Amino acid sequence: MLILIVILYTIPILYHSGKVDIKTDTAVDKQINELFTNDSSSEDDDKDKSSKRAIEMFAFDPNTIDSLEWERLGIPEKTIHTILHYRNKGGWFKDTGDIRKIWGIKKEDADRLIPFITIREKEKKTYPKPEWLKKKDIVPGLASIDINTAVAEDMSNIPGMKYPLPYKVAAYREKLGGFLTMEQLKEVPGMDDTIYTAIRKYLMISDIILKKININTATEDDLSLHPYISRSIAKAIFIYREQHGNYKKVEDIRKISFLKEEVYKKIAPYLSVSD
């Protein structure tokens, strides 16, 4: 409306000749003046409202206060959006001087705010542990379980020793004649590196008392039942004894031509020449 009035008012002035007197409508002049005056005064009012906005100073934590509280502190809306965006992205004010790093904040505003800033320690978020983590790393009474004497029920209490693994350990121990080293647990059917690593801290070997096989009385079948003695080695031990008489010492089985040294070292602790 204002633009239309101005156009209608100015057209006659643009096209009049110097000799023609232009009559103006005083009512229209008055209306235009009032419109311009009102627009100017409204802009001044907005500026006054902005500049005269009441500023409150109070102790605050820049990591927790909301937009309304920033407004009370006299911070412009655009700067408030910048601060909230920074926090929403994981930003955290660690020191009072960090407020100066906010893009767009004026030096005088930062100087005014800093004396009132109080930063509380950042709370660490905690999440519920899954069921498998709720058990303590060390279960009382389990750290001294001897794998050469423990029964399957004792081993069942160890985290990671799920059924039927404890019974397989006990059965393999019986078949083997006892454990010489902890590493031998890895030979138990169903045992893998992950399980072994998890249960190792609960186990130990205190006294090594091995059940040995008398190579002077054992049959071929008796010998082949041992996990380390193959059927061919069992047969060779038996035949050599039949041909040469009883063994005087366990080392005599080294005379078997195809018996490798690493195999001998593995089976020798489980053999004897007497009851």
Is 243 contained in some domain?
A: yes
Most confident of 32-36, 47-51, 109-113: 109-113
Q: Looking at the structure, tell me whether residues 190 and 226 fall in a common domain.
A: no
Is 47 contained in some domain?
A: no
The domain that contains 264 carries what CATH number? Answer: 1.10.150.310
Q: Looking at the structure, tell me whether residues 107 and 144 fall in a common domain.
A: no
Q: Looking at the structure, tell me whether residues 198 and 143 fall in a common domain.
A: yes
Contact 95, 119 (CB under 8 A): yes
Residues spanned by the domain of 2:
1-16+24-36
Is 126 contained in some domain?
A: no
Tens digit of pLDDT for each residue in 16-43? 444 444 455 565 455 545 544 554 444 4
Q: Which residues pair with 20 in a beta bridge?
A: none
- Write out the E strands in the chain: 145-146, 203-204, 213-214, 271-272
Q: Looking at the structure, tell me whether residues 194 and 165 fall in a common domain.
A: yes
Q: How many CB atoms lie within 10 A of CB 206?
A: 11
Is 134 contained in some domain?
A: no
Is 60 contained in some domain?
A: no
The domain that contains 188 carries what CATH number? Answer: 1.10.150
The chain-wide mean pLDDT, for the chain, equals 80
Burial class (CB in 10 A: 0-12, 13-18, 19+), 20: exposed
Contact 254, 215 (CB under 8 A): no
Question: Domain boundary residue among 166, 181, 204?
Answer: 204
Is 81 contained in some domain?
A: yes
Is 5 contained in some domain?
A: yes
The distance from CA 184 to its chain's CA centroid, rounded to whole angstroms, is: 33
Number of domains in the chain: 4
Question: Domain boundary residue among 170, 204, 238?
Answer: 204
Tens digit of pLDDT for each residue in 134-186? 444 445 555 578 999 989 998 998 888 899 999 999 999 999 999 999 999 99
First to last CA, the chain: 122
Res. 196: pLDDT tops 80: yes
Is 110 contained in some domain?
A: yes
Question: Domain boundary residue among 204, 223, 238?
Answer: 204
